[in-house]
Structure 1
Amino acid sequence: MDGMSLHDPLFATYVVAASLMILKAVAMSWLTVFRMVRAQGGYRSPEDIRKTPLNPAPDPAQLLPNEGVERIRRIQMNDVENLPYFLVAGFLYVLTQPSLLLAQWLLYGYVASRLLHFLAYFTAQIHDIRATLWTIGSLILVFMTVRTLLAALGA
């Protein structure tokens, strides 16, 4: 790699995968807000139940947990726990100059596993399905990290 550039297909693959994951994580914030507004509840802070144009009839019950809102928060928390590892591991892995095809399988495979994990969580699928999809993404991260570590030790 002469330098990181979007003209380099390997780096561009990483940028696409990373961008998709960042957009997905940001979308969770918007989805949380959408669900809170629709439910008029699931708020977290006392100031959220002050009378405003968006909340003309505040009620202390609006601070109670709302399962629809909490489900999105759990999905978002899962992203917060996993996305940083992917962003760093994927970037470092690309620096090892793997084959483009392998990098595409790994990086896009991670994206696919996380999107499918979101769908499974969002639609309240059984834990085994979510765990399997999470494991696929986790194993991809482990593989890329170990390969990166071995490349660095061999340098």
Structure 2
Amino acid sequence: MASAGLSFGNPVFAAYAAYASLVILKMFFVVFFTTYTRFSRGVFANPEDVKGNKGAVARLDHPDVERVRRLHRNDLENIPAFLAVGLLYVLTGPSPGVALWHFRVFTAARCLHTLSYLAAVQPWRALGFGAGLLTTISMAVQVLMAGTL
């Protein structure tokens, strides 16, 4: 069993830290893509943001902007849960190989979900969402089994 410490000497924590950083960076990509979409479509949420952007309008219903916002909201609903449960999972002292696959699958699933959402492609978007959710649930169950109620 791997050391359950929160140090980079623990291979499970090191893997968690790397994959957690990747999904956070992926989430920031969506933030920047939202900004790009707003500027490229000339659509902003607040009237003060329109100033200085010739031809821009303030509206909350542009389909392209709203698609990226829904993607971002989905990230905000799923990635923090992975970060919290993943950290607790590290503390259970899981097998490094099993833990690494949990982290890899979640990260790949969220990337697949993002690309599929932006391209409006089903069933890939649902598969990416489901794989990430199941991975987080798997870790949560293992944390529950390791804890006492």
Normalised TM-score (structure 2):
0.91
Please tell me the root mean square deviation across aligned C-alpha atoms, in Å. Answer: 1.7
- The residue type equivalent to 1:103 in the other structure is A
User: Structure 2 unaligned runs (5+)?
Assistant: none
- Show structure 1 runs of 5+ residues with no match: none
How far off is 1:59 after superposition?
4.9
User: In 1, are the aligned partners of 2:4 and 2:93 still within 8 Å (CA)?
Assistant: no
Residue in 1 that maps onto 2:68: 72
Q: Residue in 2 aligned with 1:101?
A: 97
When residues 139 and 131 of structure 1 are mapped into structure 2, their CA distance, relative to the original with a 3 A threshold, is: same
TM-score, L = length of structure 1: 0.87
Runs of 4+ more than 4 Å apart: none
Q: CA deviation at 1:8?
A: 1.7
Partner Cα separation in structure 2 for residue 2 and residue 98 of structure 1: 8
Identity across matched positions, percent: 37
Q: Cα distance, 1:152 vs. partner?
A: 1.1
Structure 2 counterpart of 1:4? 6
**Alpha-carbon distance in structure 1 between the residues aligned to 2:4 and 2:125:** 40
Q: Contact 1:113 / 1:136 at 8 angstroms: preserved in 2?
A: yes
Contact 2:34-2:68 at 8 Å conserved across structures: yes
Q: Deviation string for 1:101-129 (max 9, x for gaps)?
A: 00000011100001001111111102x33
Aligned length: 147
Who is 2:16 aligned against? 14
